[in-house]
Structure 1
């Protein structure tokens, strides 16, 4: 709502400078809010009804459990119902090539790396919004803060928002959303993953073990051989066991540190999950729907009223004008769907409903009716 208010102010400043035009824009914005509110409330109610039988966080009384095939069928219904909502919220489904790249390639600055078994997953889908190229926010980055030689943060391609829908063979549908996620870090968001040590880290640990082992054997082992007359084979056996325990402890400590760092990163990246994600998506879709209608209304009002063009030409003109305006206002290359915005604007007819509807009480008069009148205190003499 705050972003929409800022957009309305920017539009009023450039396209609706007179008081009458500003009042008309505010009235139209209220009409858009009134129409979209009930529309997306209905969509959310339908989604919640579909998702409730498979909701792992359900707080109601236990219902008869579903079979695995029934649960899988319900999950597919929920995902199909989510597709138009995702599109209106401007989320794009990542292609299989992008997912394959993200699951194989690891960024050199990511010390924390994970491994997954793709055979454990029945399906996985990623939707992304707001692609950026630049330095990652500090709390959302992982693995580049330790080490003696600290390289400066590199510019990376990441997404402002990512939505995950995944299901393992032994689990259930997982719906989660995250912020500030790099393309190479998508597999860190999946369930049923294992933290692994990178090749460079393994090489450094093995080198440290070899050097410390040689120093220990020269300083301690030779003394034991000369003073206690211990057999060389027995000494080597004890030395191998000692180095094996030390290596296991060092690698275990490093994996634990990486797991803790990964959990810390996901704590700051996570925004919502499961049923809360459905509400967040409906709110974002409603917000994008209203902003598209406001932009189309403002730009078409500035166009020459006598011009008559085909809908395709009008949508292309609208898309080009809005994208150039958004680029000048924000400095970001934003994709605008002119055809969808025109459809939203044409659907806002008086037949759907006007705001306020007839007989709808105003807030001032409603407050005057419901507020109690001031009465003298009974304690007054």
Structure 2
């Protein structure tokens, strides 16, 4: 769910090098879906995340037989370092730009403002930051949950603790959820419980699924700051743990028990009063009142205990599963995008390099010809990489061939037609073609002075400022 923005200023458009048409296309492409598509999204979504570290991937590729000859094995690590450096340099401007955009809307900003920022400018920054963030998340192989799926996940549902949970999405101006990886660990089911359920013909419980990583971008209504947070190991049916605002309600069964019990207790109390006024001794009315009142009190106590259990789990998730927040999260996400792009590009290059004849492979890298290296279409490359990743990691990965080939072409390492034959440069030539343009110390110093430096005026929040902020936050919460 995203707020509807006014048209961003032309200065912001020019600064980012984006066009409103491209942003409008992205918004329309992720528009409303039918409920049928929600189930399809849940069941058929394939992860693009490559579940192996960069160092392990380089080692796996160097140990794979018939991929590299002896001379290439000695140079492959240097090639991987050069490729990683080129990708880091490519994304450094993206990282710096996201920090500049986030600065005016950072809820954790500790420095004083040097200029007044109007609401329209904050909305401009927020809009373009979310556009940039969506692009970075796509490169990092995160999957954004669609609006119907978010509505379904945050609608009224029964939690594990037995309490009904719901989130009012109308209280949020901005709400985006990105997920990475999905795991369903095997359920530990003791034999005596299996025997009991078999005798009672009770279906066995289903194992719980978890998102390995979840990134949240939220802004509550009447709030001027955007909040970014990342969490790990979040249950797929408990995304409301990550939000600051929601509602806890009794289940239908508990409501019915409390209503019936209170009705009987009221009837018993009224009957007792009537019999006392009439001078008739009817002890059953007192028994009925006490029994019904005890049932109602027990049901209400059970509901309060369920609420306490839920809030304890909610607090544990926010404390133990939080990975990063706000500005620190931007660095983490850009770093994740760099990792994923590196792994995709290295896999594509290595598999194309390995697609050569034994005679060509036996030659020195400087004697090899480009036309003899590769000679496979993109679909074949995708199939080979996915099968190799399945054998190495056990994960069914949807390898993004388009992004990897685009990056290799941009670095001048790839040629050919993706639908027919692709060719890559030999290893020595590829290393020479990779750009080497590290950031200078002067550039980094200027950036730190602008973004991270402290002004000479120290910001001192007064007690009144903190009281206003606390009062504004008090209207939100789980209750």
TM-score bucket of the superposed structures, by smaller chain:
0.7 to 0.9
- May I ask how many residue pairs the two structures share in their alignment? 335
Which residue of 423, 435, 446 corresponds with 1:353? 435
Cα 1:124–1:328 change in 2 (3 A) is same
Aligned with 2:59 (options 9, 12, 15)? 9
Range that drifts further, 126-135 or 291-300: 126-135
The answer as to 2:178 corresponding to 1:115 is no
> Partners of 2:71 and 2:167 in 1: how far apart?
60
What's 1:288 paired with? 340
Deviations 1:220-278 (A, max 9, x none): x99xx8xxx9999x989x979x8788876664454234212211133233221211110
Partners of 1:107 and 1:136 in 2: how far apart?
Answer: 20
Partner residue in 2 for 1:103: 154
Matched, 1:49 2:100: yes
Residue 61 (str. 1) matches residue 112 (str. 2): yes
Q: Deviations over 1:140-190 (max 9, x none)?
A: xxxxxxxxxxx9763234321111112211223221112222332223322
TM-score (norm 1): 0.73
- Written as runs of structure 1 = structure 2, the 5 A alignment for 1:150-229 is 154-171=206-223, 172-200=225-253
Q: Which sections of structure 1, spanning at least 5 residues, go unmatched?
A: 138-150, 358-381
- Of 4-13 and 116-125, more deviation after overlay is shown by 116-125
Q: Is the CA contact 2:173–2:220 (under 8 Å) kept in the aligned structure 1?
A: yes
- Map 1:1-381; keep pairs closer than 5 Å: 3-15=53-65, 16=67, 18-64=69-115, 66-104=117-155, 106=157, 109-135=160-186, 154-171=206-223, 172-200=225-253, 251-304=303-356, 306=371, 314-349=377-412, 350=432, 353-354=435-436
Deviation string 1:108-160 (CA, Å, 9 cap, x unpaired) is 645354322222112311111113344589xxxxxxxxxxxxx9763234321
Q: Secondary structure at the match of 1:125?
A: strand
Q: How big is the shift at 1:25?
A: 1.1
Secondary structure in 2 aligned to 1:184? coil
Distance 2:405 2:179 in 1: 24
| Alpha carbons 1:31, 1:356 under 8 Å: kept | no
Native 8 Å contact 2:142 2:179 kept in 1: yes
Distance in 2 between residues matched to 1:203 and 1:44, nearest whole Å: 55
Kept in 2: contact 1:114–1:188 (CA 8 A): no
TM-score by length of 2: 0.59
CA distance in 1, matches of 2:281, 2:130: 69
Distance 2:310 2:153 in 1: 19
CA distance in 2, matches of 1:170, 1:235: 53
253-262 vs 337-346, which deviates more?
A: 253-262
Using a 3 Å threshold, how does the CA distance of structure 1 residues 205 and 120 change in structure 2: closer, same or farther? Answer: same
CA distance in 1: counterparts of 2:391 and 2:246, whole angstroms: 43
- Distance of 1:257 and 1:18 partners within structure 2: 59
Question: 5+ residue gaps in structure 2?
Answer: 1-51, 189-202, 357-369, 413-431, 440-479
**Distance in 2 (alpha carbons) for counterparts of 1:110 and 1:257:** 6
Kept after mapping to 2: 8 A contact 1:195/1:259: no
Residues 112 and 197 in structure 1, CA contact (< 8 A), matched pair in contact too? yes
Distance of 2:70 and 2:319 partners within structure 1: 47
Q: 128-137 vs 165-174, which deviates more?
A: 128-137
Deviation, structure 1 residue 203:
5.8
Instruction: Name the SS of the counterpart of 2:244 in structure 1.
Output: coil
